[in-house]
Amino acid sequence: MIKLALIILGAILLTILIVWLIDKFVPTKVKPILTIALWGLIAFLGYLTVDSVYGEIQFNKLKQERYKVAIERLIDIRDSQLAHRTVTGKFTKSYDTLINFIENGKFTLVERRDTSVVDVERTRAFGGVTTFKDEIIVDTIGYESVKERLFKNTDRYKTMMNVPLAKEGTKFTMNAGMFKEESGAEIPIFEAFVMKKDILFDQNKNLVLKESQVQSVEGVNGDALRVGSMQEVKTIGNWPKTYGSNE
């Protein structure tokens, strides 16, 4: 869009030059008509220049507002998924399962303490000389509601799958599974995302296309807002920290 504004500005300067040449060399009878027409063209091109620049400024402002609230939902999804993995050992691809877990799941509260116990084998190896070894004892001291820890007195988790300010009915796509490492070990993974074109569904198509191709440390890279991955083990988001924590 900036490129277009520069082209229009060049056209304005060229038109002004033509007006000057007309004033200099065109016969007096024809001069008023051509001059008025060209000044009208200058005014129109000036309007296009201002409108294109202002339009991009407004687009960026609206984009940031929509990204911010969408990312807040993605953070809720990620926190809920991480809690689900902590308690159950895996992620889930179902929002119904995740909501039920939030409402009924509990974190186990533990206390760790160091202690020393007799190392029987080493004691035997040293001919009966008592030898000790250090151990960590883990005691369960209680339980804490997942809902209370993550969402306190709110129920926003019930709508975290809905993309705010997008077309009605737009939801974050969520998936989960296992990632197999070269060693053969399997690690739980998950992903949640929404396409930028769905967030910016009512905006200028050229600006949306340009935004979907962003690769910048200051922007949201790629064609979607995304947290987690189904291709690698990670739970971070793809947005810069100006929008909120991505870890």
Neighbours of 69 (CB within 10 A): 13
Beta bridge partners of 114: 136
Cβ within 8 Å of residue 49, ≥6 positions away: 5, 8, 9, 12
**Residue 146: count of CB within 10 angstroms of its CB:** 22
Q: What mean pLDDT is predicted for residues 55-69?
A: 90
Q: Could you read off the pLDDT of 80-99 as tens digits, one per residue?
A: 999 999 999 999 999 999 99
One-letter amino acid at 200 equals L
Task: Convert the pLDDT of each residue in 6-37 to its tens digit.
Answer: 665 666 676 666 666 666 665 666 566 666 76
The whole-model pTM stands at: 0.74
**∠ CA 229-73-194, rounded to 5°:** 50
Rounded CA-CA distance 139/27 in Å is 101
Quote the CA–CA distance of 133 and 117 in Å, as a whole number. Answer: 6
Residue 190 phi, psi dihedral angles, 5° rounding: -150, 165
- Write the Ramachandran bin of 228: left for phi over 0, alpha for psi from -120 to 50, otherwise beta: left
Domain spans, the chain: 2-54, 66-103+155-243, 107-144
State the residue for tokens 């082209």. 7
Alpha-carbon distance values, 99 to 44, 76, 82 (Å) = 55, 11, 13
